[in-house]
Structure 1
């Protein structure tokens, strides 16, 4: 039962990232409310309000028809304009920043709710207009429903004004990077808080039995609670072979286990692994490093040529790397008795830093200002109090050497070379160890 509960939560999260999720729900709410009001009109709510509070009722058929017809035409125009703005936003974000930022923009709940308000009000107005039907030689006049239509239209206009303001903010690269940073920061903090700081030597898994992937896709998430429960119940030890976010091909090992497992239990273990065709930062913080790096690289391309954005991206990467240094390179799921039951493979700090720096060195080494910023980032990480954890210091020093080689090889101006050498000398003076940043040390 617990397994199906976590599976339901993950399915709900995937639905929420769809641009049509909230508009569909709110539209259904608008239709349902319209039928509810038609029922109230049939039992005479408008006739009662005409006697008790006539100001709340639109009691003229032509006025009601004109208002609702105007609302319907206006809302269709607003919806077309709003959806066009969303498509322009997604197109510009893909062209100027990175296609991988699109899932985060599409999953913006505020925009989804606003589009839902438009559609819900439109459907409510249509059904209310249809309910103005002839009754003998007179019309059945849903006066109170028309008044509510006016209120909903006013709300839609307010939502439209907010939408214009929000969409103008969302297209700014600073807003996009800040949103990516906050999501990944929240995810990293959650992982760091959940870690048990226990020294653990997990068994060698080379000869363990393997469970092959039954489908192809990105390994979006793994329900460790479900796997842990199954491991305790059946006295198993488990290793999750791919790194979260990796693209898994059908038929390759996805789990390793030690213990007795039948076919039914294999299916339960596989069901704890969630696959997806999209990637979300909420499930995998490594994507934030990838996306911010891609924004920096796009900013340094000749077509855009925006070093300022690249420098801002490096600032965000600096904070994320400093936070990543508080996390261990190896992750385990522990039982209540602090026994390591599951070994979770993660991207090591060394590999993460190399991947980011390799890309930035390749495309930014010709710009002395950006090179200085990269040295500043590495200097900050080198002086961080977490630098000794998991041999992180050696990784940072290695990247300083690599950056020095590339920077000197791509600058011939004596002033630029002097700046680079002065930075290296300053780093050597700050470094309390015997490390030197020469390529042959």
Structure 2
């Protein structure tokens, strides 16, 4: 069920389809009202709500053509923004705009208005000429709503295309993943290494049924299943890992042979998803920074801002522990073991590309040091030592003797702030 919901959420057609269906239902209701019950409720309706059928056809025709033009313009604008996101920011950020609620609602409202107008025109019969109808009044109200939303949509596009707004949304996405990790780890055990209980005498390796990225694992359902079957599930792969068909995903430790299919508890797709994958959420911001420092764009200030947001996000990881997470059932029996988060791994994978491509720009290096200081200030002593060791990797290969005096001064100031207390 969860996999089906995720497939629905990934489709850009879902919200427009819902609005279109609602508009179709509204059109059918309005036509039925005008055909069968209008003569009964006409005395109770204001005069302004009722029009002749000729005027209604004229109004609805104008609304239909106008909304079709607005829909075409909206699609064109969306394609322009998608092209900008792909070329200027990162192809991975396309998902964030496509899944944006305002964008999908705009398409849905315009399509719905067109469907309402066309359906209402289709079912207007000549037999209604002796009656007044309400379809035109409702169509005018719908058109006013569409016009208001169109103005808001233009404003939304203008703000969405700003790099600061995009980074803000990516930061929110990453912080939600951290909250998700924290919730999973709540009241559970974290150990540096995996230790399989000796009471299980049977082991079965469960392999992937398809090739792709692990997008989601339903841990709560797996814990319940493992508790019912009295088994322990030991994951070899985690969320965000790429697997090929036939590769081992996890092993099942049990007392008796376990043959049940567990594929409904995992969702594997051709692309990564940022909702549950912290590394992927950070990768989007990293790619924005890399594009900004590339010679073709040459926007170091955007790169510096992106790097500082990376430091802000990683500083929030102090709320989650790294190591092997062991999930227990209600009786406190270990049921699922998985490496959910590794600080060393996430730290290196966040910065190594920026270090490689930005080591010739002192402003980029100083920004990396600022972000490391943010991480250092919120971490425990073990992470402080990790961050201090990592700063040596950042500075490796830099010729301090060839640096300008002012650059060297500010760099040394930042190094002093990273030095752990003895």
1:83 aligns with 2:72: no
Structure 1 pair 366–416 and aligned structure 2 pair: CA distance change class (3 A):
farther
Give matches, 1:224-373, under 5 Å.
224-260=219-255, 262=257, 264-265=259-260, 267=261, 269-330=262-323, 331-373=325-367
The partner residue of 1:374 within 368, 375, 381 is 368
Alignment-derived partner of residue 4 in structure 1:
none
Structure 1 pair 125–421 and aligned structure 2 pair: CA distance change class (3 A):
closer
Give matches, 1:144-293, under 5 Å.
144-195=134-185, 196=187, 198=189, 200=191, 202-204=194-196, 208-260=203-255, 262=257, 264-265=259-260, 267=261, 269-293=262-286
Structure 2 spans left out of the alignment, 5+ residues: none
Alignment-derived partner of residue 25 in structure 2:
32
Structure 2 distance, partners of 1:275, 1:199, is 26
Q: What SS does the aligned partner of 1:44 have?
A: helix
What is the CA distance between 1:422 and its match in structure 2? 2.4
Once the two structures are superposed, residues 270-300 of structure 1 have per-residue CA deviations (whole angstroms, 9 ceiling, x without a partner) of 3211112232211212211111111111111
Q: What SS does the aligned partner of 1:64 have?
A: helix
Structure 1 pair 241–130 and aligned structure 2 pair: CA distance change class (3 A):
same
What is the CA distance between 1:261 and its match in structure 2? 5.6
The partner residue of 1:128 within 120, 141, 149 is 120
Structure 2 distance, partners of 1:261, 1:41, is 68
Contact 1:68–1:129 under 8 Å retained in 2? yes
Once the two structures are superposed, residues 339-383 of structure 1 have per-residue CA deviations (whole angstroms, 9 ceiling, x without a partner) of 332111234111111112211111111111121111122223223
Q: What SS does the aligned partner of 1:251 have?
A: coil
What is the CA distance between 1:414 and its match in structure 2? 2.9
The alignment yields a C-alpha RMSD, in angstroms, of: 2.3
Q: What SS does the aligned partner of 2:340 have?
A: coil
The partner residue of 2:52 within 60, 68, 77 is 60
Structure 2 distance, partners of 1:175, 1:421, is 30
Contact 2:173–2:275 under 8 Å retained in 1? yes
1:431 aligns with 2:398: no
Structure 1 pair 261–161 and aligned structure 2 pair: CA distance change class (3 A):
farther
What is the CA distance between 1:181 and its match in structure 2? 0.8
Structure 1 distance, partners of 2:160, 2:398, is 35
Structure 1 distance, partners of 2:414, 2:276, is 38
Further displaced range: 204-213 or 302-311: 204-213
Further displaced range: 320-329 or 298-307: 320-329
Counting matched residue pairs gives: 416
What is the CA distance between 1:15 and its match in structure 2? 1.4
Alignment-derived partner of residue 63 in structure 2:
71
1:92 aligns with 2:84: yes
